[in-house]
Chains A and B, each alone.
Chain A
């Protein structure tokens, strides 16, 4: 079914960014516009989500060029779920940024770039054309470069060099893969590719191309051998930026995996084994990396890597039940990871540092805020009935049905280490007696009331989303089930795009 509303979320953020550019250096107007734009984007995303949840897959042909020839935008359940999650994260972060980002950064165009980034994310989730996906990826990385370097502190620039080099490399691999794919099939439309790839006789070249995509997405998603850029860059920008990056940027790589490896390259045993090996190693290296760190943002960065392994493992099992687990985990993960970084930003406002050895005594001073943060931390660890628990049930089930005990072992170790880290953060940051009061810089106390609200409200919002996901798991499972169905059998997608 054709509907032009698909593109609305992309356009909202585009126009918000453009409008903000006309208010250059007027930071208050930009803040108001940013929150308003994110709210509008959220409304459109929710509308689109409801429409696709209850109705058929929607498509839109750009400039009315028919499907395999023009660029097509497709909103199936997977896409709209991601769009909705992006909208929630964008809303939370734009509220947080209003106070959490320094004025100097705002003066140099923090908000327009932020909205360009969200626009790129929405575009990437909605497009049905693989070259267009590449272009959206570039929109995302160039905006993320600017957000990462804005401010120009030494650590930031150092992180940015690694981030830039590996992300450009990833794009090059991705582009090479697209080039070869076009060479062997003569199409760029993902639905069309899904059909044409079956007629290619030379299986070796398909596997080779799949490897190019694997490396390209693997770098972007920060999977095992290629994840080093993430922990060395995510702790440097302001927490609001780190929250978007941690919540959404790596997930675009995962989305690429979900899309390309279910629609175009249906994995054979070799690719499944490769993905599974990567997944287990990602879980282990991420978890062990997190243990030795003292800075809470560095710990969270490693935990992002660790938990992405769970999701890729779910994809590698390639059964419907594992898909449900993977999708559900991703929904939970986007909410929680964004919130963790916002929380780190709030802690920095409360204490002036994010180093655990210098922190302490938060619970005594701010019991309500601490309980709010506890909800987030316990969701992360997956303590029932919070949101991290349910997807693991499905992933375990998928692992047992696929007889993949290595993966199950990986999940157990990963979850255990996560639990240990949560306990450690809780005792070091919240319970431990504060080391010395002399160095404590409490910028939070002196803030005006409405500024405090702006900092705490987004964390509340995301914590409520996490609670909703955890307590209303039945509803999320229905959605995850529908997505898993789409991933296991892409024929409705192809039918919706090509119209036959």
Chain B
């Protein structure tokens, strides 16, 4: 189930990024990021009620356990993607205010106008 949704998120993200609209580009980036986060989450063997705690009478973990490291990783990744997304939103809003179009193909100032 989760695997299918990761695949779906990746596919939708790539599809949206390939579109010419800026808003779709933004949504595509967000979806791809979430797909990646889910992927890492899934790789940490999610099992219910199996904390990675070693029993008092044992030296190592005997049973299968939920790996806490991927959860720490996605926490970091989520925070980072939050920051990047908010920057992207502000940037695209500024660009929209400046050139008054949503089409990425209009983002080409010709070379003659360079300083």
User: Which A-chain residue is minimally distant from B14 (CB atoms)?
Assistant: A169
Within B36-51, the residues touching A (CB, 8 Å) are: 36, 39-40, 43
User: Which B-chain residue is minimally distant from A148 (CB atoms)?
Assistant: B91
Partner pick for B40 among A145, A179, A348, CB 8 A cutoff? A179
- Distance of A430 Cα from B63 Cα, bound (Å): 74
User: Which A-chain residue is minimally distant from B41 (CB atoms)?
Assistant: A179
The verdict on A164 contacting chain B, using a C-beta distance below 8 Å, is yes
A341 CB to nearest B CB, Å: 14
User: 5 pairs across A/B with beta carbons < 8 Å?
Assistant: A154-B109, A157-B91, A161-B104, A164-B88, A175-B40
B22 CB to nearest A CB, Å: 7
- Distance of A82 Cα from B17 Cα, bound (Å): 34
B92 CB to nearest A CB, Å: 7
Q: Are B83 and A142 in contact (CB under 8 A)?
A: yes
Complex contacts, B98 vs chain A, CB 8 Å = 152, 154, 157
Interface of chain A: mostly helix, strand, loop or mixed: helix
Complex contacts, A131 vs chain B, CB 8 Å = 73, 76
Q: Are B40 and A161 in contact (CB under 8 A)?
A: no
Complex contacts, B95 vs chain A, CB 8 Å = 157-158, 161
- Distance of A165 Cα from B107 Cα, bound (Å): 13
Given A131-B73, A154-B109, A162-B107, also A179-B115 (CB < 8 A): no
The verdict on A23 contacting chain B, using a C-beta distance below 8 Å, is no
A352 CB to nearest B CB, Å: 8
B77 CB to nearest A CB, Å: 6
A60 CB to nearest B CB, Å: 20
Given A168-B29, A182-B43, also A355-B114 (CB < 8 A): yes
Contact stretch, chosen from A196-204, A291-299, A372-380: A291-299
A158-B107, A352-B115 are known contacts; what are 5 more A-B pairs with Cβ within 8 Å?
A: A155-B114, A157-B95, A165-B88, A171-B84, A176-B39
Complex contacts, A146 vs chain B, CB 8 Å = 87
Task: Mark A residues whose CB is within 8 Å of B.
Answer: 131, 134-135, 138, 141-142, 145-146, 149, 152, 154-155, 157-158, 160-162, 164-165, 168-169, 171-172, 175-176, 178-180, 182-183, 186, 188, 232, 235, 293-295, 297-298, 348, 352-355
Partner pick for A295 among B32, B36, B80, B114, CB 8 A cutoff? B114
User: Which A-chain residue is minimally distant from B104 (CB atoms)?
Assistant: A161
Complex contacts, B84 vs chain A, CB 8 Å = 138, 141-142, 168, 171
Partner pick for B77 among A169, A175, A183, CB 8 A cutoff? A175
- Distance of A232 Cα from B76 Cα, bound (Å): 31
User: Which A-chain residue is minimally distant from B26 (CB atoms)?
Assistant: A165
Q: Are B111 and A295 in contact (CB under 8 A)?
A: yes
- Distance of A171 Cα from B87 Cα, bound (Å): 15
Q: Are A182 and B17 in contact (CB under 8 A)?
A: no
User: Which B-chain residue is minimally distant from A141 (CB atoms)?
Assistant: B84
Q: Which are the 9 A-B pairs with shortest beta-carbon distances?
A: A183-B43, A179-B40, A158-B107, A155-B109, A138-B80, A295-B114, A157-B95, A172-B32, A176-B36
B63 CB to nearest A CB, Å: 16
The verdict on B57 contacting chain A, using a C-beta distance below 8 Å, is no
Complex contacts, B92 vs chain A, CB 8 Å = 161
The verdict on B55 contacting chain A, using a C-beta distance below 8 Å, is no
B102 CB to nearest A CB, Å: 12
Q: Are B109 and A158 in contact (CB under 8 A)?
A: yes
Partner pick for B114 among A134, A175, A235, CB 8 A cutoff? A235
Partner pick for B91 among A155, A164, A175, CB 8 A cutoff? A164
Complex contacts, B80 vs chain A, CB 8 Å = 135, 138
Complex contacts, B22 vs chain A, CB 8 Å = 161
Determine which residue in A154, A160, A165, A295 has the highest number of CB atoms from chain B within 10 A of its CB, and name it: A165
- Distance of A354 Cα from B91 Cα, bound (Å): 27
